[in-house]
Amino acid sequence: MKISGAGSKSGPVSPRDKTEKSPVNPKFLCRDEVLNRTYKFLGVIDATLQHLQIQDLKLDVDELCSNQEIVEKLEQCVMNWHTHITIIIEEQQKKKPQAPGPLAEIAFWRERKSTLGALSDQLQQPVIQKIMGVITKTHPGIILTLDETTDELNKYLDEAEDNLRFLSTLEGHFMNLATGARFGVILETIPPLMETLQIIWMLSRHYNTNERMVSVMERVAWQLCERVDQAIDVDKLFKEKSEAAISKLRDAKQVLDFWKSSYFEMRSEIEESGSYARWEFDRTRLFERSDYMAGICQDLCNVLQVLAEFYNIFGPDLKGVTGEPKRIDDVLHSVDHLVLPIKDISFNPFNISKMSSWNIIMGDFDAAAQVIEAEAINIIDEAFKTLRSSAAAFDVLLKFKHIRSREAINSHLMRKFNDILAQFLKEVDNTNEMFEARKDNPPLNRNEPPLAGAIRWVRSLFHRLKRTILPFLKVPEMLKSELIKTVINKYSHSVKFPAFIIFLLSHFKDTSQSKVNLKNGMEFIVNFAPEIREIVSEAKGLVSLGYSVPDLAQRVALQEDKFIRYSHLEISEYGVSGCKRFNWNSLGVSDFIDRSLNTLSKFESVVNQIQKNEQDIDSKLQSMATANLLKFPVPDDSNDLPGVKEFCKHIEQERDTTVSLLSQKYSDIGPLIIKIENLVMDTSSGKAKCMQDYYMDWECKALDCLTKMVLRNIQAFNMVLMGNTPLFQIDAILSAPKIVLQPQSNEIYWLLMQCVRDCVESTKKFVRWMRGTCIECPPQRVGVDMELMTFSFYSEVWQHPQINESAMAVSQTVQRLLFSVDQYLNHWKRYRPLWEKNKTIVHEKFAAKNPSCVMYDEKLQHLSHINQEVKLEPLFKIEHVIFLNLEPLQQTVQEITESWIASLGSLLNRPAKEDLFNLTDELVLLNSCPP
């Protein structure tokens, strides 16, 4: 009740004066008020009847009229009724809704209907009617006075019933405004709320005046403002993450702005129709508070954005450029203090009466922000005068270029490109000086060969400058600088590094050739000259740097392990064998060749068998990756499309068949791998330790194939849903007062999305292998309850980001399809009065005016024209894959139209018959008169 403003208080409350939250006393409920008034009236009746002889009232009216004493008592009784009815009517006229919310308006009319209805029902009791019959015969003047009061009672009761009937259509919308869980619910509620208000404005007999409609809209505006006021707590706002807080403020402002824009949009529609009175309402009452609160939301949003911009500027990057972290922290401390006056305010910022105080706070905030902004610019200027690294400063500028920050600071930063170029010129000079000073004795890493180390050092100097200048040439602000030409010219002419590297490589080529050609026989004891070891080390270092080396040095480097092994052999042990010469005529060569060929043949056979088994596994995995899990019935030319349930059922059956076949193929993979294990290891356990990586590799491939299978199927299903070939049929039916789909939209959505979920869940059929094996893991007992759980690939597949994105795309596609269908069905809403209005009441009111035949004919012609329009409506609508069957809807609307025609015709039949009989009597009378 506090949220909705639907309760009642001891006195009336004006929505215009209600800007702060006020408590609601539960004891003043509408129910108690109705019961109180009803009991009062019943007490009056009981007190009156106690003075009467009840047994005398059992007499008939004539006998009662003959008893003067009873007649006098009955007269007093009727006069008491008149007095009390008059008092209650006057009290009801003085009453106002007891709360500022829109639900209070409905509660007000519901209370009035209950109170007046109870009076009306009491007056219809047999004993009351008998008393009134007696007084009618004895003193008709008293009854005439009572009848006038009773007519007034019925008039107000009819007004209450009519208003309650129309306002009840708004109750669900009002509840959404009062208790909706989020602003999105309120945004979705405002358009249908406005549409319903328009209908009430056009059709209601009592809410078609400015004051009545403004009163309801003013209450709606109050409710929206209250929801924003309750949701936006300034103190808590600055404790949340800035993105979440800004989002909340934007949503709140959107609600308030959308309320105003929806009003003017509906106002324009009414003006364009030209059929009803325009909405010329008091905009101050409707929008003054909401506009002000929207402005406050924008102010708070701006404050949070300013804080975020300052935090973006004074971050680690700026600390790295300036080298003064303490000064940056001091500025951040000032930024933190910016919001203290806002967090510590003693009033509600949404209170419009506090506008001047709020403006002062915001003015102080802007002034303080400008001071911090000036300090930031000063820090940046000082930092860029003493740059330590042009590359680091350049990276910072590029980051700030794409990071949201204060416009003035950002603009100032963008003007610092000249300082970066000046720093780069200094770095070029320093690099050249370092090269000249240490090129003859460059710094080397530990165990690094001299030549490769020198080249590595020279390349690092060159690449450091190159990595710095190349990004400069891609930034438009750099190319516009006056220093850019000087920088490029100095970089091109002063760098001598490539020529020095070429010199070092040429020197290595010459020295390596001479060292490798040394006569090893000169020193029989040493099998591996130390110079060759140096050549191997240099060759490996140069290759790692990307340079080519002489072929001779490359061949030596490739045999490094053999040469090292030979160099450590004992001469006493291997000297004779090492000096023995073997040639192709030796007796052992033929035997060696036979054994080698036999071994190669066996090895080739094993390799072929392994490759065949791996091809079989790949084939099974490929069939999994390319499987179609969303097979749907192909439409034929008969236009006999299945319903959406049959469509999804067919997909489910096909998928179950396909998954069953695939799971069998997957189960066959483990035995194939065991065959490979048998060929390699001569075991068949499926648990060989040396093959654990091999098992894991195939299991990863299986997961990859299942992921591709699910992803491809979901994406293909989304493409099918976006196609233009109808695949299933849904019916549009009339379920008064709404036009709905059969099945309903939410059921269609969940049926189609279930196909996607089942596609993902089909991976539960593929059981994971036990760790370090290729054997399927049996169900395991997991958790406190020790429930059996089967470990499958499902847990990895459903978390795959691309699969989740594709599923979300399918969800959005289905929602768009259903939205398009709903939009199309809006066309049928123009026939809505046919089933929303009570044709009996409408026609009886029309007949009560004693219309002429011409007026009957006009109404019948109008209904006949509507009936013809309904007949000409298309029987179906194709919306991408949906075949929307409109025939049930058309038939129902046509039947309703024909029932209106029949009802009106029956009313015309009665006066026509009477006129015919009267004419017949006149003709008979004329015929009987003498000539």
- pLDDT value at residue 18: 39
CB atoms within 10 A of CB 44: 18
pLDDT above 90: percentage of residues in the chain = 23
Q: What is the mean pLDDT of residues 701-717?
A: 92
Quick: pLDDT tens for 12-30.
444 434 334 433 344 445 5
- CA 60, distance to chain mean position in Å, is 74
Write the CB contacts of 239 (distance below 8 Å, at least 6 apart in sequence).
Answer: none
Query: Token pair for residue 928?
Result: 């009987």
- Give yes or no for residue 321 having a pLDDT over 50: yes
| DSSP assignments along 10-62, one per residue | SS---TTT--S-----GGG-HHHHHHHHHHHHHHHHHHHHHTS-HHHHTS-HH
Q: Is residue 756 predicted with pLDDT exceeding 80?
A: yes
CA count, 13 A, side-chain hemisphere, 66: 6
| Ramachandran region, residue 5 (left: φ > 0; alpha: ψ -120 to 50; beta: rest) | left
% residues pLDDT > 70 (the chain): 69
- Cα angle for residues 56, 57, 59 (degrees, 5° grid): 75
- pLDDT for residue 256 is more than 90: yes
Of 707, 702, 719, 748, the residue nearest 630 (C-alpha)? 719
Q: Which of 471-475, 686-690, 709-713 is modeled with the greatest confidence?
A: 709-713
User: At a CB cut-off of 8 Å and minimum separation 6, what does 435 contact?
Assistant: 458, 461, 496, 497, 500
Q: Determine the 3-state secondary structure of 870 from DSSP.
A: helix
What is the pLDDT, as a whole number, of residue 359?
A: 92
Q: Rounded distance, CA 110 to CA 114, Å?
A: 6
At position 441, the amino acid (one-letter code) is N
Closest CA to 248 of 336, 184, 177, 338: 184
pLDDT greater at residue 509 or residue 200:
200
pLDDT band at 224 (very low <50, low <70, confident <90, very high): very high
Omega before residue 737 within 30° of 0, cis: yes
Task: Give the separation between CA 142 and CA 140, rounded to whole angstroms.
Answer: 5
Whether the pLDDT of residue 275 is over 80: the answer is no
- Between strands 787-789 and 780-782, the pairing is antiparallel
| Residue 829 pLDDT | 81
CB 662 within 8 A of CB 622: no
The CB-based long-range contact list for 638-642 (8 Å cut-off, 24+ gap) reads 641/726, 641/727, 641/728, 641/729, 641/883, 642/728, 642/729
- The total of other beta-carbon atoms located within 10 Å of residue 274's CB is 7
The DSSP result for 720-754, as a single string, is HHTSSS--EEEEEEEETTEEEEES-HHHHHHHHHH
* Per-residue pLDDT band at 222 (split at 50, 70, 90): very high
The reported pLDDT for the residue numbered 1 is 44
End-to-end C-alpha distance for the chain, whole angstroms: 85
d(CA 39, CA 119): 10
> Coil, strand, or helix at residue 882?
strand
Give the whole-angstrom CA distance, residue 472 versus residue 880: 51
376: nearest Cα among 313, 286, 302: 313
The secondary structure of 199-267, three-state, reads HHHHHCCCCCCHHHHHHHHHHHHHHHHHHHHHHCCHHHHCCCCHHHHHHHHHHHHHHHHHHHHHHHHHH
Tell me what the mean pLDDT of segment 840-865 comes to. Answer: 81
Neighbours of 909 (CB within 10 A): 10
CA dist 166 and 212 (Å) reads: 13
Tokens of 901: 């025609």
Residues with Cβ < 8 Å from 517, sequence gap 6 or more?
none
What confidence tier does 867 reach under pLDDT thresholds 50, 70, 90?
Answer: confident
Report whether 12 contacts 97 (CB < 8 A).
yes
Mean of pLDDT values over 5-11 = 47
Over residues 362-377, the pLDDT tens digits come to: 999 888 888 887 877 7
Among residues 894, 900, 892, which one has the least CA distance to residue 733? 892
What CA–CA distance (Å, rounded) separates 547 from 509?
12
pLDDT at 67: 79
User: What does the DSSP assignment read for 459-481?
Assistant: HHHHHHHHHHHHHHTT-HHHHTS
Q: What value does the mean pLDDT of the chain take?
A: 78
pTM of the model: 0.46
Identify which of 445, 327, 425, 311 has the alpha carbon closest to the alpha carbon of residue 369.
Answer: 311
Handedness of CA 337, 343, 346, 348 (dihedral sign): positive
Whether 785 has a pLDDT exceeding 90, the answer reads no
Tell me the C-alpha distance between 28 and 9, whole Å. Answer: 6
Give yes or no for a contact between 281 and 213, defined as CB atoms under 8 angstroms apart. Answer: yes
Long-range residue pairs from 614-617, CB within 8 A, at least 24 positions apart, any chain:
614/676, 616/672, 617/669, 617/672, 617/673, 617/698
Cis peptide preceding 743, ω within 30 of 0: yes
For 800-842, give the DSSP string: -HHHHHHHHHHHHHHHHHHHHHHHHHGGGGGGHHHHHS-HHHH
Strand partners, 742: 731
Contact (Cβ atoms closer than 8 angstroms) between residue 807 and residue 760: yes
Cα–chain center distance at 546: 51
Tokens describing residue 352: 């419009």
8: three-class secondary structure by DSSP: coil
Q: How far apart are CA 351 and CA 348, in angstroms?
A: 6
The string of pLDDT tens digits covering residues 508-562 is: 556 555 554 444 444 444 445 556 656 666 665 666 666 666 666 666 666 666 5
d(CA 274, CA 679): 90
Which of the two residues, 44 and 246, has the higher pLDDT score? 246
Going by the DSSP 8-state scheme, the letter that residue 670 receives in this structure is H
pLDDT in tens, 875-910: 888 888 898 888 888 888 888 888 888 888 887 777
The residue assigned the tokens 């052992």 is 588
Cα 290 to chain centroid, rounded: 26
Residue 570: pLDDT band (50, 70, 90) is very low
* 118/433: higher pLDDT: 118
Q: Do 617 and 669 form a contact (C-beta atoms < 8 A)? A: yes
Encode pLDDT of 147-189 as tens digits: 899 999 999 999 999 999 999 999 999 999 988 888 899 999 9
Between 869 and 708, name the one with better pLDDT: 708
Residues 67-109 pLDDT 10s: 778 888 888 888 888 899 999 999 998 989 888 999 999 999 9
pLDDT value at residue 12:
41
Choice among 60-74, 303-317, 496-510 with the minimum mean pLDDT: 496-510
